[in-house]
Amino acid sequence: MTTVLISGLGLIGSSIARIMKQSSVQPTILGDDPNDDTGQFLLGQGIIDERVTLLKAASRADIIVLAGPVSVIIDQLNQLAAVVLKPNVLVTDVGSTKMQVMTAAKQLQKHQIAFMGGHPMAGSHKTGGRAGREDLFDHATYFIVNGSQTPAQTAQFKACLKPAQLRWVNVSAEAHDGLVSEISHVPHVLAANLVNTADHQLKHDAVGLSAAAGGFKSTTRIAGADPTMWTAIMLSNSEAISEQLTTYMTQLKEIQSAIEAHDTDKIYQFFEHAKTVRERLDQGGETQ
């Protein structure tokens, strides 16, 4: 019997538990979360088999999944380095950035503890363990940053998540952080800025944001995500995010100039190129 310990039972951690319960591995799932309501709910639903605390239960686990914010993951990696674990245990994470995590994981590797960086490209504007879903990861991309894990440990972890039919992609930590900044982190900044700017500009308008239609709501849906988590992400991937925001501001100035100049061709090309790329994205299937 495989025992999996998941620390952090929010949207992602609880979804992992739900998916693993559907797998042929049928692991025993130990759940660690500071929120009593979340832990009791998941226990009552049979999504986890036992409520535990990470450091007290870590020695029982074959797989340890760290599913909290990146700052918490880094602290936990340092703590786990001082705990006696099973000889063949695999420690992994689901953090949205990888360079800082992989650096912190070196403490585990010094103690011959296998670590594998991970990040499922799946999410929702909803938060918390009650919002988790067993189909949240379906056909999504799951990034793996190789650490010190063995092929057998990687295969065991993949087997636990097989029901999601994931697309597994191996990538370096640096490449990962640059990529997710472009397709996930910066879009969250832009969505939040759209909402904040509209709210500020329309605060004295009698109709205001109540007139927002489907386009605005769809574009800004992700602005409803957990601010604590996204603050941690901004701080952990600040360099890449800042660099790409500079690029976005340059491109916005270019389209602003075209609009001011009534440059029909340039404006048309701007929207035509975006339409073509967006249609290609739909044809390939979305993962987030």
Say how far apart CA 65 and CA 16 lie, in whole Å: 9
Mean pLDDT in residue range 47-60: 97
| 75-84, 132-141, 176-185, 228-237: segment of lowest average pLDDT | 228-237
Instruction: Please tell me which residue, 20 or 183, carries the higher pLDDT value.
Output: 20
Q: How far is CA 248 from CA 25, 92, 186, 200, 259, in A?
A: 45, 33, 9, 21, 16
Q: How far is CA 287 from CA 57, 120, 164, 210, 235, in A?
A: 33, 9, 12, 30, 24
Percentage of residues of the chain with pLDDT beyond 70? 98
pLDDT of 49 over the 50 cut: yes
Q: What is the mean pLDDT of the chain?
A: 93
Mean pLDDT in residue range 33-42: 93
Give residue-wise pLDDT tens across range 201-233. Answer: 888 787 878 887 778 888 898 898 888 888 988
pLDDT of 24 over the 50 cut: yes
Q: Check residue 226 and give its pLDDT.
A: 83
Say how far apart CA 25 and CA 9 lie, in whole Å: 20
Give residue-wise pLDDT tens across range 90-133. Answer: 999 999 999 999 999 999 999 999 999 999 998 777 888 999 99
